[in-house]
Structure formats: structure tokens, C-alpha cells
Amino acid sequence: MKHKIVLFLAMFALFIPHSCNIEENNEQVRKPEIVDNSFGKILERGKLVASTDYNSTNYFIYRGEPAGYEYEMLNAYANYIGVDLELLVNDDFEAAVAALNSGKADLIAMGLTINSDRNRVVDFTKPMGQTRQVLVQRKPQNWRRMTSMEKIDEALIRNPLDLAGKVVYVPRHSPFAQRLRNLQHEMGDSITIVEFPQTSEKLIEMVAKGEIEYTVSTEHIALVNQKYFPDIDVNTPISFPQRLAWAVAKSSDSLKQNINQWIDEFYDTKIARFIYNKYFVNPRSLQYAHKYYSIRSGKISNWDELLKEKSKALAWDWRLVASVVYQESRFEPKAISWMGAFGLMQLMPGTAEMYGVDSLSPPEDNLTAGISYLKSLDKRFENIVEDIDERKKFVLAAYNVGIAHVFDARRLAGKYGRDPNIWDDNVDFFLLNKSDPKYYNDSVVYYGYCRGEETYKYVNDILYRYEHYLNVIED
């Protein structure tokens, strides 16, 4: 009916007399609205690529698993639109913008404050919170013995005008430098502003250690770090409240509209509040985050040095082996599964016996035995799957479910016209479906039923976590 009304009105317009004083030459010809395909490309690709920065709130590794406020929010949005998530780590806003404009990233999720300078180069989504800029300074040395907060305040800068003549370090390309320049103009005096190639959190740590006197940070980041560095003070605001949002390229209207729709639906839900409270409110979460914060410690686990040493025998990146250990035991050397697998590498008793270890062996021996087993599996596939990275997927699957079921899946792939030497969308499909009678009763299957879904997920989880380890842990 709606289309008929539009058509009738269009036909009626043809018969409007010229006496209506509308001159044909002056009529504005409406151009068809051009809708960009930024959102459609993400759906077609099946992957959302986001730039974020690693710190103790946005993105980090916690007890071997990726974590962080921006990470969890991005995951929630990726799940909402039904795609995978890939992260690009950028500590520098300009580098993140370059990735956005070159098409390497779809959006920036770095807890960005909205301001006019940034509005010129990116488009912001609806606000997802607010913060303000605060001065980070060190409390007086004897502050714990002071009898009142008033005495502590007397030793600190509480009026931003008192920054006149002081040296303040801020991250390069951050909005803090412009705020300090505005403050100089307002006070009619000078502040020495040093734009330093370090993150806000690193500069906060430098203040805490007495290496510099002052820095500026967004309040939510400063408050989180104060839990870790109790000797710093973050109670002096130097700006009005500012809104926080994600950023997209200027041409990405369809993506921005979809994100805004998601924000409207998600932002006030219990899940959204839980994520926010976990990273910015709950003191226990904050303490654990700092304790296991991978960038500050540079570690994935307490076994990193051992993993680096033992992984040389396998010629795999130690971080990939670390991802295997996390998947198997969560780095817990005393872990025992319901099937009797034990230790860091969750060796079954029969396999463990082959390598001379048992449940009473030290963790180092368990790890050595597990890596030796991985190496033997790699050797079995060496002349079959020549591509090294591809072969790792077969080895991981065999470590989880046994090599016999993997060979069954290879034979099924060959029979049904898939490549038996490619894992993704080839062999993994048949292992995933090896619980289906159509496949496990097939004449090329020698070892019958297998709950392949677990192994399919096992391989994907290890490789997914490994990508996060690569993002935040140096080799």
C-alpha cells in the first residue's frame, strides 16, 4: 500500500500547473543517498578488526587469558553482529588513525575522549562513559604518618594554576598536551610540557618511582593505577568531564549507525554493568589485574623461563606452547582431569609412562615429556603436511584426541573432495562431524566415533589465545 501511495503522489505531481510559481530551472535535483559499505564489508569478511592499546584496563593477559574492558566490550559487539574479533595493538592515537584510514582497522577502541581536534579526523560513536583529566603527583614521603588529609593536601597541588613553572610529562599525541596549553593561556603563565613516547600508565609508574614529578591521565586510568601505586595522588582535576567513545573512519557511516544501535541496546544491560564494574569498580579485580598484568610483568605465567628453554627442542614459539599449557592445565602443575591426565601438560598415564614420568614427577619433567610427545607427533606429520604452520594444527588436534582420529578425518576429507593436508574448512570439518553416523560408519574410518567438537574447539582456542600472546608478550 505504501508503494502505491508514493506512486500516486509522483503521478499527481506531473499535473501541478505552472502557476504554482516553481521555476523548473531553479528546482534542486536530489541525488540518491550514497550508503557506505563499511558494515557490510565486516559481515562479508566475517571479522571485526579493532585498534586498541594494552594497559591494565583496556587489554591485557590475565592468568593466561586475554582480558580488559575494551576487549570484552569489543567481544560483545562482535558477538552481536556474528563475526570474529581481531585486535591491532596501537599505543599511539595517530598510528591507530592511520590504520583506520588505510583500511587495516575498522574502529578504534582505546577509551578515547571526544574533542574537537579528534572530531576533525575521525567520527565518534555514541558516548560509552565519561571521565576527566587529572593531575598525577606523588604524595609526600611521610603521608602515612600524617594525621589528616588536610596536611597531605597542603603538600600537593590542588589548584591547577599552581602548575605554573612546573614540568609535566604527557604521552605523545595525547589530548593532555592541548589541555595544558589551554591552561597556560588561562593562567597567563607557562608550564613546561614534555610530550614523551610512553603510555599514560608508564608515566604514572615513573611518577610513583620518583623519576618525574607530574603527569596527566584520564581519571578512570589514574584511579585503577592508584590501586597499584598507593603513593600517587590523582585527586586534582584539570578539565571538565569528557565523554568517552569508540571512533570510526569519516566514511564509515553504516558501521557507526550499527554500533550506535548496539550501544542503545547493550549499554544499560546487566552484562555491560558487570564488565564496567569488573575493571573500574571492584578492588579485588583491580588488584588481580595488576598482579597478573602481562605488560607490566612481561610474563604469561610463572613457567615462562622454563617454557622458553624447553620449547627449543620442538622449534615452536614458546608462546604457542604456553597457550597449550594454559589450555591443558591453566598453568597448574597439580591439575588432574576426570580421565586421569595430570600435570602441566595433562599427560595420560600411558603416554607419561612412555616418557618416564608419573604423577609424582616434578613439573619440569612433565613439561619436558609433553613437549617430547608434541615433537613425536610433529615428526609423524612432517612428510605429509609440509607447511609448518598448517602442520601445527594437525599436531595440536592429535595431542588432544589422538593421531588415529586425525588420520580418519584426513581420509574422509580425501574421499569427499577436500584437501587432507589443510586443516581449516577441510580436515577440521570431518573431525568436527566424526560423531555423526554418516561419517564414523564410513568405510574409510578405522577408529569409529569421536566427539570431534571438543578437539575442533581445542585447536581454535589455542591458536586464538596465541594471537593474544603475540600481541602483548615480547619474544
**pLDDT at 467 exceeding the cut of 70:** yes
Residue pLDDT, tens place only, 101-137: 999 999 999 999 999 999 999 999 999 999 999 999 9
Pairing between β-strand 47-52 and β-strand 84-89 as defined by DSSP bridges:
parallel
Q: Are residues 424 and 342 in the same domain?
A: yes
Q: Are residues 348 and 419 in the same domain?
A: yes
Has residue 7 been placed in a domain?
no
Last residue of a domain, one of 239, 255, 271: 239
Q: How many CB atoms lie within 10 A of CB 186?
A: 10
Bridge partners (DSSP) listed for residue 47: 84
Q: Are residues 328 and 466 in the same domain?
A: yes
- CB distance 329 to 305 below 8 Å: no
The confidence score (pLDDT) of residue 283 equals: 52
User: Which are the contacts of 190, defined by CB distance < 8 A and separation ≥ 6?
Assistant: 164, 165, 184
Has residue 343 been placed in a domain?
yes
Q: Long-range CB contacts (< 8 A, 24+ apart) of 204-211?
A: 204/136, 204/229, 204/232, 205/229, 205/296, 206/169, 207/136, 207/137, 207/138, 207/232, 208/138, 208/232, 210/138
Q: Provide the CA 73 distance to its chain's centre, in angstroms.
A: 9
Residue pLDDT, tens place only, 344-399: 999 999 999 999 999 999 999 999 999 999 999 999 999 999 999 999 999 999 99
Banded pLDDT at 284 (limits 50, 70, 90):
low
Mean pLDDT of 295-307: 83
Which phi and psi angles does 329 have, rounded to 5°? -135, 0
Has residue 365 been placed in a domain?
yes
Q: Are residues 308 and 440 in the same domain?
A: yes
Q: Are residues 310 and 393 in the same domain?
A: yes
Q: Are residues 345 and 456 in the same domain?
A: yes
Q: Which three cell numbers stand for residue 314?
A: 620442538
Has residue 382 been placed in a domain?
yes
* DSSP 8-state secondary structure symbol assigned to residue 347: B
Pairing between β-strand 47-52 and β-strand 167-171 as defined by DSSP bridges:
unpaired
- CB distance 103 to 36 below 8 Å: no
Q: Are residues 210 and 337 in the same domain?
A: no
- CB distance 119 to 110 below 8 Å: no
- What's the one-letter identity of residue 283? P
What is the Cα–Cα distance from 154 to 143, expressed in whole angstroms? 11
Q: Are residues 152 and 226 in the same domain?
A: yes
Q: For position 172, which CATH number holds? A: 3.40.190.10
- What's the one-letter identity of residue 218? T
- What's the one-letter identity of residue 116? S
Has residue 10 been placed in a domain?
no
Q: Are residues 428 and 395 in the same domain?
A: yes
Residue pLDDT, tens place only, 26-43: 444 454 454 688 999 999
Active-site residue, from 328, 353, 382, 467: 328
Q: For position 316, which CATH number holds? A: 1.10.530.10
Does the annotation count 213 as an active-site position? no
Residue with cell 599505543: 91
Domain that holds residue 334: 304-472
Q: Which residues of 88-117 are buried (b: 16+ CB within 10 A; e: fewer)?
A: bbbbbbeebbebbeeeebbbbbbbbbbeee
**pLDDT at 19 exceeding the cut of 50:** no
Pairing between β-strand 84-89 and β-strand 232-237 as defined by DSSP bridges:
unpaired
- CB distance 434 to 392 below 8 Å: no
Residue pLDDT, tens place only, 48-67: 999 999 887 899 887 678 88
Q: Are residues 162 and 258 in the same domain?
A: no
Dihedral Cα 54, 56, 58, 61, nearest 10 deg: 70
Has residue 316 been placed in a domain?
yes
- CB distance 198 to 212 below 8 Å: no
What is the Cα–Cα distance from 367 to 329, expressed in whole angstroms? 11
Mean pLDDT of 278-286: 68
User: Which are the contacts of 69, defined by CB distance < 8 A and separation ≥ 6?
Assistant: 57, 58, 111, 275, 276, 278, 279, 280
Q: Tell me the Cα Rg of the chain.
A: 29
Has residue 344 been placed in a domain?
yes
Residue pLDDT, tens place only, 221-274: 999 888 888 899 999 999 999 999 999 999 999 999 999 999 999 988 999 999
Give, for 122, the enclosing helix (H) or strand (E): none
The confidence score (pLDDT) of residue 281 equals: 80
Q: Are residues 103 and 159 in the same domain?
A: no
Residue pLDDT, tens place only, 320-345: 999 999 999 999 999 999 788 999 99
How many domains does the structure of the chain reveal? 3
Has residue 19 been placed in a domain?
no
Last residue of a domain, one of 239, 258, 277: 239
Bridge partners (DSSP) listed for residue 85: 48
Q: Are residues 190 and 49 in the same domain?
A: no
- CB distance 82 to 212 below 8 Å: no
Q: Which three cell numbers stand for residue 254?
A: 553504516
